[in-house]
Amino acid sequence: MRTLAGPPVTIDAFGLTDRGKVRRDNEDHFLVAYIHKEVDLLCGSLSEEVLNHRVGTTGAQLLVVADGVGGGPDGDVASERTAAAVLTYAGKTAGCFQGLDVDGEHHLLDALQKAVEDVHQELQDSGGANQKAPATTLTLVLLVWPRAYLVHVGDSRAYVRRRGRVQALTRDQTLGEYLVAAGAWSEEQAAQAGTSDTLTSAVGGTEMTPSVGLVDLEPGDSLLLCTDGLTNLVPMERIEGVLALPLDARGMTEQLVNDALAAGGNDNVSVIVARGVG
């Protein structure tokens, strides 16, 4: 656990990945990282208010899940390289998170998107002219309390639980979701169509359109990031129930992964839970 600057909120975060019971390899990758740059004041006579304003402790929690696209080459390589690229970006920018104004937030989101676009281009270039490039989904949150900055590509997901209610922060970038949003399919038609889960956007894929945004969090909120190895097997009602249990982030994460395995474990599964403990 780490206490971030600002309101007295501690971030309790944990992540876990599992190959599952069917797949030979695990093409998922995840990250939970605390990125900080701080000044340790040994002694002085300035007031706490002045010190917090002038110095403070800059810090951010980086949460990443990436699911290598099955059926393509080196999905595990794509997810690993994408997660590593985001981590490298965040490490280079440590220390600039505190006191972000509107322009600073736009710059931060633009830079996050640029990091994803750069690794997307690298993956495409590695495929060569006549070869399919390795590709991956990506869902990341850079948590600078109380703001959560989000970048999403593909069908891995992010949710927030607030005051007993779980809400989706992402929309799947799939053919089925696209046709439902366009009014061409109903939810039932999308569920029955065999191609509805085809990705329309992936890092390293033919098309890549990151969705970026931010959300303000409150003490007591929980974030869930996961690959579709969880959401395809575990009903939303059960996921909501686990997030409501009196467990820490590790306990919730382990329970959700175990639920996916108990439901058949026919895919790799990765889960991250982060809680703002006031």
What sign does the CA torsion over 19, 199, 78, 148 have? Answer: negative
Q: Residues with Cβ < 8 Å from 114, sequence gap 6 or more?
A: none
DSSP 206: S
Query: Residue 19 CB: number of other CB atoms within 10 A?
Result: 17
In terms of pTM, does the model score above 0.85? yes
Edge-to-edge strand order for the sheet containing 10-18? 2-3, 10-18, 269-277, 222-226, 157-162, 165-168
Please report, for residues 56, 187, 214, the alpha-carbon distance to residue 94 in angstroms, rounded to integers and kept in the order given.
Answer: 14, 43, 19
- Coil/strand/helix, residue 214: strand
Of 159, 172, 175, 202, the residue nearest 66 (C-alpha): 202
Q: Where are the beta strands (DSSP E) in 8-100?
A: 10-18, 28-38, 57-67
State which fold the 2-277 domain adopts: Phosphatase 2c; domain 1 (3.60.40)
pLDDT of 22 reads: 94
What sign does the CA torsion over 178, 16, 67, 140 have? Answer: positive
124-144 burial, b for 16+ CB within 10 Å, e for fewer? bebbeeeebbbbbbbbbbbbb
Q: Are 120 and 203 in contact (CB under 8 A)?
A: yes
Residues 120 and 154: their CA atoms lie apart, in Å, by 13
Q: Are 238 and 180 in contact (CB under 8 A)?
A: no
- Which two three-digit tokens encode residue 1? 């656990």
Q: Are 179 and 99 in contact (CB under 8 A)?
A: no
Q: Are 43 and 62 in contact (CB under 8 A)?
A: no
Tens digit of pLDDT per residue, the chain (278 long)? Answer: 444 444 467 899 999 999 999 999 999 999 999 887 655 556 655 555 555 544 444 578 899 999 999 766 688 999 999 999 998 887 776 555 555 666 677 788 888 899 999 999 999 988 766 678 899 999 999 998 889 999 999 999 999 999 999 999 999 999 877 777 777 777 777 676 666 678 999 999 999 999 999 999 998 999 999 999 999 999 999 999 999 999 999 999 999 999 999 999 999 999 999 998 87
Residues 107 and 188: their CA atoms lie apart, in Å, by 40
- Which two three-digit tokens encode residue 70? 């099955």
Q: Across-strand partners of 252?
A: none
